[in-house]
Chains A and B, each alone.
Chain A
Amino acid sequence: MSKIIASAAIRGAYKIAEQAEEILNRAIKEKGNDCPVEFPNTGYFMPIIYSMTGREVRTLADFEEVLKDVKDLLPPHVDDDLWVPYLGHALDAGMATLFAEEVIEGCKYLIGPNPVDGIWLGAADDIILRERGIQFVDGTAPGFAAVVGSAPDVETAVTIARKLQERFLYVFMCGHYNGTTFSEQLVEGGVQLGWETRLVPFGREITAAIYSLGFASRAALSFGGVQAGDFRRNLLYNKNRIFAFVMPLGEVTDEWYATAAGAINYGFPVIADSDIPQILPTGVCTYEHVVSNIPHDQIVEKSIEVRGLKIKITKIDIPVSVSPAFEGERIRKEEMHCEFGGQRTPAFEWVRTREINEIEDGKVVVKGPDVDTLKAGGKLPLGILIEVAGRKMQPDFEPVLERQVHTFLNEAQGLWHMGQRDINWVRISNGAAKAGFKLEHIGKLLHAKYHDEYSSIIDKVQVTLCTDEKEVLKLREQAQAVYAERDARLEGMQDEDVETYYSCTLCQSFAPNHVCVVSPERPGLCGAYSWLDCRAAHEITPSGPNQPINKGACIEPKIGQWERVNEFVQRASGGNIPKMSQYSMITDPMTSCGCFECIAAILPMTGGIMIVNREYAEMTPCGMKFSTLAGTVGGGNQTPGFIGHSKHYINSKKFIAAEGGIRRIVWMPTMLKDDIKDTFIKRAEDLGLGGEEFLKKISDETTATTEEEVLEFITKAEHPAMALEPMF
């Protein structure tokens, strides 16, 4: 009976609105209505309110305006008979509830109880959004389950959480039932919570649901190129991209109904364990809106079906579960059974191409003592040699494949990996060892994952795991020679050396005009795709988003325009972008989707540019925070004077070569400076700018926060940009 749900949701909305008014009055009384209010480190204000209405909440006085919106949205209660249509009203009540809940949580940051408390994390900042939100866009995480309340017991909670993790889903938790919460139950069950494990405890109250939905709204703003206030696109983006759902466990109160009605606006259906009414006709969500009375052992499968989600789970014959959700699981010393590498023992990992008849597919060789010979806390050397063969395999793909070892190993529950090549470090947890995890399982895991993801280029995978120190050292020497050879080849690779660039249109799903053109010296702006990656990706999926572009005749070498590249971009951008330069941020610059690691922006007074990385949340000298700048730069438009780019690109010889390259950089946050330091100094030396000295001439947040201060700093420092021609 939808009527019961609509009636309850509307009642709940009034209750939450009342709570919001009450806490806001208290907050204003204590702090004054000009008191600033914000969630920490975000450029998206109160994200639901901001994304739906465009309203930038800065002070408590702005919340008063929000509550006017809430009142305006609150519909009449549903009458017992002769009712007027209530579906639209209930959805409006849901949105009003979310606005009111943001008011409540926002006020809590000011007058308590602090949303960040004990296990509770409160709002996710923009760094987390960048790291995690992108997974919803690239498909690594299909969506999230917003779990509300608590399971009947700890065991059920743990089983549900593990099943959700195994299906790559994030689990966002809020609300309590029966004196406890799902989050607390997981802690009791010994489950590691946090963003790394995709199990996110937002808060004890139902109002903390806004952190989930706010995250979804921000993903649309940040990665979807949706403008604040464009509520329709934001909600449809969520309906069609972020496959989330609500899973209320326990008695559904009016407040829960109201919040769930808010979630249904996003196309997120509700799958309940309790016997509440159902809403089966489709339309706002992809399929059913409310499905109820689902037994706990079926609720995960049912939720996925109701949401319309297809998740491919490859069952790998090893004693632990495998899912990206386990990728972030840490293994602390006391939880560790044994470890390898990490400067404690010699170790390496190496992908090597073989002829098809030289190796045997699926063969796993373990040389030397295994895990079960060790006591808890033990260590061994480890060589991981992955030999692959395939008609389409090329030695250039080796590093691409090798980089995957990190991801593949971390996805196994109870296995932890860090580093790469000969600085790798692997730990196996007590739990995994107890479950019978041995070295051969690493081999089986790698074999399965490589076949799963790279079947179009690899036909055979053979893995050797070696713990015999002598043998490891011997093999490591061979591997090191290959690493050095690769580095030399990659480093030397110039745009001029190749005839073919690659496109990346992966992000056109949300920035339809955007086309990345990836050349050896300009990697994709997200930092995830080098030219080699794109080439491999094209081999793997020939009709995919990475297409070869035979660059054709050069139109203008300095700014980097080629006939066929322009033709391609024009076509792939649906005719919107007729010309595009590979090396200029002023003349026909490359468009940006929304995934860029950094933004370069001109500072006209200084004759130079600033670069800000996504992790930097403070104000920048151009007067905009990263998130605001991102709104200007992203969405697939050409914005002369602004480009989105990867961190790696800064050290490329082709970095805004048309405008003078790194000589133009007059400001970068210290964290970015630290990040790129080593290569940057080398690059500056090559250009005769004086290595470390040049880096010191570039101001940062400790020396300049406004354009005037930047100018003052670089004038004193005699920064080379001062001597350059104006940029335009």
Chain B
Amino acid sequence: MEAKERSCDKASQEMIELMAKAGRENAWDRLEAQSPQCGFGKQGICCRICSMGPCRITKKAPLGICGADADTIAARNLVRMIAGGAAAHSDHGRDVAHTLKMAAESDSCDYTIKDGLKLMEVAARYGIKIEGRETNEIAKDLAETMLSEFGKHEGTLISAAAYPPPARQKVWEEFGVTPRAIDREIVEIMHRTHMGVGSDYKNLMKQGIRACLADGWGGSLIATEVSDILFGSPWPIRFGTNLGVLDSEQVNIIVHGHEPTLSDIIVAVSQEPEMIKAAKDKGAKGINLSGICCTANEILMRHGIPVAGNFLQQELALMTGAVEVMLVDVQCIMPALGSLADCFHTKLITTSPKCKIAGAQHIEFHEDRAIETAREIVKMAIDNFGNRKGACHIPGVSERGIAGFNTENIFHHLGGRFRASYRPLNDNVINGRIRGAAGVVGCNNPKQVHDYGHLAMIKELIKNDVLVVSTGCSAIAAGKAGLMRPEAAAKYCGPGLAEVCEAVGIPPVLHVGSCVDNSRILTILSNVVAEGGLGEDISELPVAGAAPEWMSEKAVSIGMYFVASGVYTVIAEPLPVLGAPNLTRYLTDEMEKDVGGKWAFEADPVKAAHLMIEHIESKRDALGINKARERKLYDMEDRRALAVE
């Protein structure tokens, strides 16, 4: 297969070709080797839960040995995927909450509270007393309260009552899916899907919904909020992206994975004068830190650290031969990196006790000696600079853009310090300049042409005046294609969206962070509802979600928490349920009655964009904002009726 059919990204094409020439294997090659893939697995109708099986559903054998039908089996498999995804996000949240606790408890900790204001806001939401108390006391209470959210035995999640619009909470309450404790919902999935427990696919899905809500409005939200408190809230910042950000004349360190805890320290340590001097002593011009996947997004959002690439570029980055150290934490790290790194001087370093990879060196990271570990790793990279094997091959392709948007700073962009507000956003949705908004998020998947799904969909959306917010590998794709340049508004958008972007000075695609930061999209939507004029619930908003190149279990959890929050969500690769007709119908249709949102599967990104646009227009119709309206002129009586709050 030609490189162009594998990726639409120029830098990636160049490296794919190079790998082919060098006879090195990558994910696309392994996909070919795996093809054709198992049809039963794809359709979700293979059950390996007990040792009576494995069973697979066919016309001839429509029931498993225990009697489970296709819907039961597919539902069990699907909610187990949710459990995996929710567990990954939430464990991340737990770890940062734990770091917050350490920071609050010890003055000598390498971590401190960087955003006191956000701490107060979040603490207030969690019902923690603020007045007259020291920052550290509040932080400690907040951390402990959050940590107890994971395993508490009574009540429901504090954040599920503190963040979403009241109407949304009511929907969950009435449907019986208000999340209780984060770990509990995941454990309950594992229990319910054990052999011989539940077989009603709808009841199984209900627990999947509850668990994913505990992720989006719980574990992920904690990860986002605490990261802002500990590492600072993002603020619009310039960045460079794609493999061209690697520099053959500098010591290249790539951080990869998902957690900001170590990488945030690496950012500081790599710029220490003694480190830079050491690098220069080794003949390098300096230390060039960059990232891949969501670890990259975390330090990009807060420090403007360049992004070398997204998920499918991890192997390509190593292939440049210019990487001294690739430092990985957790999630989306291909085991293949181990053997590929062996071909170069590159040191692959695993740091989490949860993630050890064959062929990688393990330097375990502990928050209580963060700086020490970071220095050790950076030094290792410097020392490795001289060990490069032959010439580097870095594609001369990179792009720049603006990242660093979050739920809170949107207020400022739209009204400054004195008129901080979401009003201009709501107003321009109501007046139709912006038709609506879409969250385009998610991974890469070699089954789609790399980045093409994201880019084709995003371009189609913004052309039709739909504002896009993006996270994760999708955001990186958009950044690489120049869609995060503010100038892109004039080039790619419809006239209405272009005008609004121009008025505010924003790009048409807003980077709101890593994949746990999809929780930001939830809180942004809550703010839009709270601002007024667009209904009472997220499900009334003219918005849609998409993951055009999804592949991970986390994406299933994210997709499901968006759907369960009332957002219509389109994905390219169908969920593995197509072998279960009732379950498929439930997910893509009937579910809307229960939670206000539903799934759609569409492989063509442009067609998918139009499904989203159609949905947005239908919501606009329902809100009555699609009718041409006369300009209201106010006399004194009308003015008196206006609120001044």
Contacts and interface: CB of A to CB of B under 8 A. Distances in A.
B424 A1 contact: no
B355 interface: no
Residue among B417, B425, B503 with the most chain A CB within 10 A? B503
Contacts of B634: 243, 286, 308-310
A279 B506 CA distance: 14
Contacts of B642: 240-241
Contacts of B457: none
A139 interface: yes
B33 interface: no
B636 interface: yes
Interface stretch (A88-96, A373-381, A704-712): A88-96
Interface stretch (B96-104, B118-126, B407-415): B407-415
Nearest to B422: A283
Given A83-B505, A308-B633, A88 B417 contact: yes
A236 interface: yes
A415 interface: no
Contacts of B638: 310
Contacts, number: 148
Contacts of A82: 238, 400-402, 485-487
Given A283-B421, A284-B415, A310 B644 contact: no
B640 interface: yes
A576 interface: no
A130 interface: no
Interface stretch (B310-318, B333-341, B426-434): B426-434
Contacts of A305: 631, 633
Interface string B559-570: 000000000000
B325 to A, nearest CB: 29
Contacts of B428: 281-283
B500 interface: yes
B418 A84 contact: no
Given A81-B487, A509-B640, A309 B502 contact: no
Interface stretch (A33-41, A192-200, A227-235): A227-235
A70 interface: no
B414 A87 contact: yes
B643 interface: yes
Contact of A282 (B237, B419, B424, B639): B424
B418 A232 contact: yes
B423 interface: yes
B645 interface: yes
A85 B502 CA distance: 9
Given A95-B416, A243-B639, A84 B237 contact: yes
B167 interface: no
B635 interface: yes
Contacts of A289: 503
Contact of A95 (B418, B426, B427): B418
Nearest to A506: B640
Contacts of B433: 281
A690 B350 CA distance: 98
Given A240-B643, A281-B428, A305-B633, A52 B503 contact: no
A324 interface: no
A73 interface: yes
B236 to A, nearest CB: 4
A482 interface: no
B632 interface: yes
Contacts of A284: 414-415, 419, 421, 423-424
Nearest to A286: B634
A85 to B, nearest CB: 4
B504 interface: yes
Given A85-B236, A231-B418, A283 B485 contact: no
Nearest to B502: A2
Contact of A281 (B500, B631, B643): B500
Contacts of A95: 416-418
A257 to B, nearest CB: 15
Residue among A95, A280, A283 with the most chain B CB within 10 A? A283
A235 B423 CA distance: 14
Given A233-B644, A237-B644, A282-B428, A84 B633 contact: no
Contacts of B424: 87, 281-284
Contacts of A450: none
Given A1-B502, A240-B639, A265 B416 contact: yes
A233 B421 CA distance: 13
B499 interface: yes
Contacts of A265: 416, 418-419
Nearest to B636: A139
Contact of A283 (B425, B486, B502, B633): B425
B37 to A, nearest CB: 42
A87 B645 contact: no
A334 B423 CA distance: 55
Given A83-B505, A282-B427, A283-B428, A240 B417 contact: no
A414 interface: no
Contacts of A52: 418
B417 A73 contact: yes
Given A81-B487, A85-B236, A237-B644, A91 B639 contact: no
Nearest to A264: B419
A224 interface: yes
A3 interface: yes
Interface in A251-282: 265, 279-282
The 6 closest A-B pairs by CB, nearest first: A283-B424, A91-B416, A139-B636, A310-B633, A86-B505, A240-B642
Given A85-B236, A86-B504, 20 more contacts: A3-B502, A3-B505, A82-B238, A84-B236, A84-B505, A87-B424, A91-B419, A95-B416, A139-B636, A142-B636, A236-B644, A240-B644, A243-B634, A281-B427, A283-B425, A284-B423, A286-B634, A308-B632, A310-B634, A311-B635
15 contacts: A1-B502, A3-B505, A82-B402, A83-B505, A84-B236, A87-B414, A87-B416, A88-B504, A89-B416, A91-B415, A92-B418, A241-B639, A281-B428, A283-B423, A305-B631
